[in-house]
Amino acid sequence: CLESKNYQIIVLGGGVAAGYAAFSYVRMGGESNQLAVLSEEPVPPYERPSLSKGFMDPDIRMEPSEFYTCAAIAQLPQDEKWYEEHGVALYLNTRAQQVDVSTKKIISENGHIFHYEKLIIATGCRARKYSPSQVPFSNLDGILYLRNIEDANIVRNWIDELKGQGKAVVIGGGYLAMEITSCLVSNNIQVTMAYPGDYLLNKLFPAQVAKQYEQVFRDKGVELLSNCFVENFYERNDGFASAVRFQDGRKVSGDFFIVCIGAIPNTELFQGQLQLQNGGIEVNHRLQCVGFPDIYAVGDVASFPLKAYSNRPVRIEHVDHSRKSAASAILDILHGNPYGNTKHRDDPRLSIFRAAVDTTYDYVPFYYSRMFDLCWNFYGDSSGTAFVWGYVPSKMVTLWIELSSKVVGILLEGCSPFEHRVAYRVAVNRPKVDTSELQRITEASQVFEY
């Protein structure tokens, strides 16, 4: 007979969004013993971005307890004691095996049955992996991925083993591949980066910007190989991977391989029950699932309408959205739809959640990444034509201008906190600019009309 537990709210998932949901619930005055977090992971929710930053940094070597949520905003890592003291039930090592949305029931692999009134789906993504049937020998030892603490520990063990003498091959050209490469270089490991595009981070960066970051990597001794599509890996005598071969015949050897080829949303529990979109779970402006107002989806797994950009449905795999969407769902559950309710807007406890305070969820995208001593921040939408000023690594600004001459997106490197605040305001207000004038000037600040 399985043990049964009832909660008013269950957050399914134990990542960034789950941690911020718990934090918001407590901050917004939610009652004790009414909220549970179910996580398959062995540690409390943590700031996942730290895995490819402080956790691998040879000088810092942060431990997970230093970056449990909400270390990034409250300088208060929520350990298990925090959950206990605030009456939030935290179930670790508890993987949901089955969810029945019609009876509001969750069954976990370790034999619990949970009943909820409201469910917040925060199952995030998992690393996309090669399958050995498509990429021969891709299941060899020494071919690594990075999504969770377990993966990060494995990568860090390899780093410790080969520090100062080893060679790694990073496969992928997105921000995660760039961050991992930076960590490896800081640990004196030689790196080749091999990626499918013509240049790094081609989903966001214009070529002109990417080339500048590429030069930074080259200056640090990293070998960059573009247009690489993996064909197969090779096996050493001891069962470890020794080399990777690309479709055009190029072959690169290494001691270990870190594969960063994207992420897959964890939606399987809900297939056939909830409406899917963009590979994730479709939600409305209040982050409620279509036809199920008691079920919310937040973070990486949610496909939501981007209100500020013609309600285009998007799935955003970045940490700022996971934090704010979690807070927004909690606000909606605790206080109903407070749209137009200024009481909540004026509540100083909520000021940290700009997007949440105005529920419905009106999100202006914000992404960032850090590598070496660089840090780029992006605000808004990268559609339209890109105009670039300045240079990485000192100071660079890129503006994306739509056909209507509105600025819709901004990328900054090497800018001050004030300039970041301005960039956010610009992404929110989307001022019109004179594009012919824009061609001629080099000082971005001269073109904004506030």
Any contact of residue 40 with ligand FDA (CB under 6 A)? yes
Q: Which amino acid is at 122?
A: A
Any contact of residue 39 with ligand FDA (CB under 6 A)? yes
Any contact of residue 299 with ligand FDA (CB under 6 A)? yes
Any contact of residue 315 with ligand FDA (CB under 6 A)? no
CA dist., res. 357 & res. 331, Å (int): 8
- Closest to ligand FDA by CB, 93 vs 385, is 93
Contact characters 382-421, ligand FDA, x per CB under 6 A:
----------------------------------------
- Closest to ligand FDA by CB, 146 vs 169, is 146
Peptide bond into 360 cis (omega under 30): yes
- Closest to ligand FDA by CB, 183 vs 433, is 183
Any contact of residue 14 with ligand FDA (CB under 6 A)? yes
Scanning 110-118, 194-202, 205-213, 363-371 for contacts with ligand FDA by CB under 6 A, the matching segment is 363-371
Any contact of residue 322 with ligand FDA (CB under 6 A)? yes
**What residue number has its CB nearest to ligand FDA?**
15
Looking at 38, 258, 331, 426, which residue binds ligand FDA (CB under 6 A)? 38
Looking at 68, 114, 158, 367, which residue binds ligand FDA (CB under 6 A)? 367
Residue 384 CB neighbours (<10 A): 18
Of residues 264-293, which lie at the interface with ligand FDA (CB under 6 A)? Answer: 266, 269
Looking at 11, 17, 407, 427, which residue binds ligand FDA (CB under 6 A)? 17
Scanning 39-47, 63-71, 222-230, 354-362 for contacts with ligand FDA by CB under 6 A, the matching segment is 39-47
Of residues 80-99, which lie at the interface with ligand FDA (CB under 6 A)? Answer: 95-96
CA dist., res. 429 & res. 125, Å (int): 31
Any contact of residue 300 with ligand FDA (CB under 6 A)? yes
Contact characters 110-129, ligand FDA, x per CB under 6 A:
------------xxxx----
- Closest to ligand FDA by CB, 22 vs 433, is 22
Looking at 7, 44, 52, 245, which residue binds ligand FDA (CB under 6 A)? 52
Any contact of residue 318 with ligand FDA (CB under 6 A)? yes
CA dist., res. 396 & res. 376, Å (int): 9
Of residues 127-166, which lie at the interface with ligand FDA (CB under 6 A)? Answer: 146-147
- Closest to ligand FDA by CB, 95 vs 250, is 95
The distance in angstroms from the start CA to the end CA of the chain is 64
- Closest to ligand FDA by CB, 149 vs 308, is 149
Any contact of residue 13 with ligand FDA (CB under 6 A)? yes
Looking at 51, 259, 356, 399, which residue binds ligand FDA (CB under 6 A)? 51
- Closest to ligand FDA by CB, 169 vs 401, is 169
Of residues 160-179, which lie at the interface with ligand FDA (CB under 6 A)? Answer: 176
* Phi, psi angles (nearest 5°) of residue 88: -105, 120
**Exposed / middle / buried, residue 248 (Cβ in 10 Å: 0-12, 13-18, 19+):** exposed
Instruction: Tell me the pairing of strands 312-314 and 288-289.
Output: unpaired
Any contact of residue 48 with ligand FDA (CB under 6 A)? yes
Work out how close the CB of 275 gets to ligand FDA at its nearest, in angstroms, rounded to a whole number. 18
- Closest to ligand FDA by CB, 202 vs 435, is 202
- Closest to ligand FDA by CB, 326 vs 433, is 326
Q: How many residues bind ligand FDA (CB under 6 A)?
A: 36
CA distances from 218 to 121, 149, 195, 208 (A): 41, 29, 15, 16
DSSP collapsed to 3 states, the chain: CCEEEEEEEEEECCCHHHHHHHHHHHHCCCCCCCEEEECCCCCCCECHHHHHCCCCCCCCCCCHHHCECCHHHHCCCCCHHHHHHCCEEEECCCCEEEEECCCCEEEECCCEEEEEEEEEECCCEEECCCCCCCCCCCCCECEECCCCHHHHHHHHHHHHHHCCCCEEEEECCCHHHHHHHHHHHHCCCEEEEECCCCCCCCCCCCHHHHHHHHHHHHHCCCEEECCCCEEEEEECCCCEEEEEEECCCCEEECCEEEECCCEEECCHHHCCCCCEECCEEEECCCCEECCEEEEEECHHHEEEEEHHHCCEEECCCCHHHHHHHHHHHHHHHHHCCCCCCHHHHCCHHHCCCHHHHCCCCCCCCEEEEEECCEEEEEEECCCCEEEEEEECCCEEEEEEECCCCEEEEEEEECCCHHHHHHHHHHHHHCCECCHHHHHHCCCHHHCCCC
Looking at 192, 267, 360, 369, which residue binds ligand FDA (CB under 6 A)? 369
Looking at 22, 28, 41, 408, which residue binds ligand FDA (CB under 6 A)? 41
Which chain residues interact with ligand FDA by CB under 6 A? 13-18, 38-41, 48-49, 51-52, 95-96, 122-125, 146-147, 176, 266, 269, 299-301, 317-320, 322, 367-369
